[in-house]
Amino acid sequence: MRQLKNFKLADHTTLRVGGTALIVCEISSPSDIQDFVHEYGNDNFFVLGGGSNIVAPDHEIKTPIAYMQIINSSAKTDGEYVEITAGAGMNWDEFVADAVDQGLSGVETLSGIPGTIGASPIQNIGAYGSEVKNTIKSVQLVDGTTGKSRIITIEELNFKYRYSMLKDLTSRFIIENVTFRLKREKNSKITNYPQVADFLSINPGEPVPLKSLRNAIMEIRKSKAMILDEKDPNTFSVGSFFINPVLEKEKVPSGAPMYENESGKVKTSAAWLIEQSGFTKGFRHGGAMISQKHTLAITNSGNATAEDIVELSNLITSKVKQKFAIDLIIEPKILNI
């Protein structure tokens, strides 16, 4: 297990904020996980993937960090399905690109999402009409308090919209790998999302080649600054900062968009609520800014601190609460380490 020095969180997070961490261990193999747990294990460590869904504090960080770099994968065929077990440190979008190249369907609408394989089940990443839960078979993790390895099944993961039970336990478990079940299919039918169907000029649900769908998603995401780009500060974000509220139908404000939700409730638009509460794209607070291309993204316009980001988030949630009596839920983890 290699110790990494001069590890500034701002250099390893997409929001580009965060102080220097004093203890950072590079985790490149299952035995590195065991070494880490042996040395620092209890329930007070932090696991870092690609840093694309966290707000790291500005101060010096003493909490030990496991920096996930396990890069390995294996595959086995099961009829028309292929089961791929991928190491937690692998890049999510490279995994998606490979699946599309190999004619494996299931994750193509999740193209362009930053971060690692290991983080993908934690908040059940989702975009453009699909969620990763539809492809996950199991997750292998190590309990940081005991060093014991366990395989967690899909039932135990309790996946919901932007949630799995792992989200509540991220300072206790270290995910080692994730097993996905993808279908051999050259065309994708995950084209129900209206914006995607419009972009491709097809009827919703009409099959299209996997690659065409991936390309369409990448283009749509680029137009909203949802693909990381060194040159565009609108992409220095955690993606959407707020989750679209799922509410009883009668609680949705008049005029707000409503989408059917599998829970029987309806999902409304956090962006609509934020805009109706008086915020516009480009609104600034210190160095933090609402993306000029996407109301749900809080960005670092250049010199933001974590404090600026959190203050802007608080400003938005309190205005929305005042106006609509709705509690916006934030998507990233604000680290208290």
Ligand X SMILES: Cc1cc2nc3c(=O)[nH]c(=O)nc-3n(C[C@H](O)[C@H](O)[C@H](O)COP(=O)(O)OP(=O)(O)OC[C@H]3O[C@@H](n4cnc5c(N)ncnc54)[C@H](O)[C@@H]3O)c2cc1C
Please indicate whether residue 331 is annotated as part of the active site: yes
Q: Which of 83, 275, 311, 331 is catalytic?
A: 331
Segment 216 to 245, residues that bind ligand X, using CB under 6 A: 226, 228, 235, 237-239
The one catalytic residue in 240, 277, 301, 313 is: 240
In the residue annotation, 162 being an active-site residue is answered as yes
- 123 sits near ligand X (criterion: CB under 6 A): yes
288-123-96-206 Cα dihedral, nearest 10 degrees: -100
Smallest separation (angstroms) from ligand X to the CB of 89: 7
| Catalytic option among 28, 52, 162, 188 | 162
Q: Which stretch binds ligand X (CB under 6 A): 98-106, 109-117, 264-272, 280-288?
A: 109-117
Residue 155: active-site member: no
Beta bridge partners of 2: 26
299 sits near ligand X (criterion: CB under 6 A): no
Residue from 66, 63, 46, 57 nearest 9 by CA:
57
How many Å separate Cα 284 from the centre of its chain? 24
Q: Are 139 and 175 in contact (CB under 8 A)?
A: yes
Stretch that binds ligand X, among 18-26, 110-118, 192-200, 298-306 (CB under 6 A): 110-118
Residue 61 sits in the site that holds ligand X (CB under 6 A): no
Nearer to ligand X by Cβ, of 161 and 272: the residue is 161
Binder among 21, 125, 330, 337 for ligand X (CB under 6 A): 125
Total of residues contacting ligand X (CB under 6 A): 35
Q: Least distance in Å: CB of 13 to ligand X?
A: 7
Within positions 251 to 270, which residues make up the interface with ligand X, using CB under 6 A? none
**Count of residues making up the chain:** 337
**Among 56, 127, 216, 316, interactor with ligand X by CB under 6 A:** 127
Tell me the per-residue interface mask from 160 to 199 with ligand X, x by CB under 6 A, - otherwise: ----------x--xxx------------------------
Of 276 and 292, CB closest to ligand X: 292
Stretch 30-59 residues interacting with ligand X (CB under 6 A): 46-54
Q: Which is nearer to ligand X, 163 or 272 (CB)?
A: 163
Per CB under 6 A, 17 contacts ligand X = no
CA 258 to chain centre: 23
Measured between alpha carbons, how far is 111 from 107 in angstroms, rounded to an integer? 7
Q: Which one of residues 57, 106, 118, 144 is an interface residue with ligand X (CB under 6 A)?
A: 118
Which segment (114-122, 243-251, 277-285, 320-328) binds ligand X by CB under 6 A?
A: 114-122
Binding of residue 100 to ligand X (CB under 6 A): no
CA atoms within 13 A of residue 261's CA, in its CB half-sphere:
18
Q: Is the dihedral of CA 326, 329, 330, 335 positive or negative?
A: positive
Residue 152's CB: how many other CB atoms inside 10 A? Answer: 20
Residues that bind ligand X (CB under 6 A): 14, 46-54, 68, 88, 113-116, 118-120, 122-123, 125-127, 170, 173-175, 226, 228, 235, 237-239, 333
Catalytic residues: 162, 240, 331
